[in-house]
Amino acid sequence: MLAKYPQEVKDRTVRIVLDRRDDYPTEWAAIAAITAKSGITRETVRRWVRQAEIDAGVRAGVISEESAEFKRLRAENRELKRANEVLKAASGFYAAELDRPQR
């Protein structure tokens, strides 16, 4: 199960890692030391730091806003496809009704 952390926790944890990573031999060592106190997994914090670097333009990748927009558009696309299938089924039903001889 994935834990959902509040944005304040993410922001504070990332800020601590970015502020303190020069105090450690590697970024991973900084993350390990900080996560030991927080109870958040190392990999989770590493991904948060990478995304923060992407959002800041320091690292190449898809920024958070674009990722959220892609997710929203994919959900909208799925909903439109479902609605289209319903409309196709309904139009087929009504077309068959119109083709039947009237009494």
Q: How many domains does the chain have?
A: 2
Which pLDDT score is estimated for 3? 65
Asked whether residue 40 falls in the same domain as residue 13, the answer is yes
Q: Of 61, 77, 93, which residue sits at a domain end?
A: 61
Which pLDDT score, from 0 to 100, does residue 10 have?
A: 93
DSSP for residue 102: P
Q: Determine contact, residues 34/16, Cβ cutoff 8 Å.
A: yes
**Could you tell me if 49 and 89 lie in one domain?**
no
* 61-93 CB burial, b ≥16 within 10 A, e <16: eeeeeeeeeeeeeeeeeeeeeeeeeeeeeeeee
Written as six digits, the tokens of 80 are 């439109």
Residue ranges making up the domain that contains 44: 1-61
Q: Are 90 and 42 within one domain?
A: no
Do 19 and 53 belong to one domain? yes
- pLDDT at residue number 57: 87
Same domain, 51 and 78: no
In a shared domain, residues 79 and 39: no
The per-residue pLDDT for 45 is 95
Which stretches of the chain drop beneath a pLDDT of 50?
Answer: none
DSSP 38-49: H---HHHHHHHH
pLDDT, residue 53, reads: 93
Are 56 and 84 in a shared domain? no
What CATH number does the domain containing 19 carry?
A: 1.10.10.10
Q: What is the pLDDT of residue 67?
A: 85
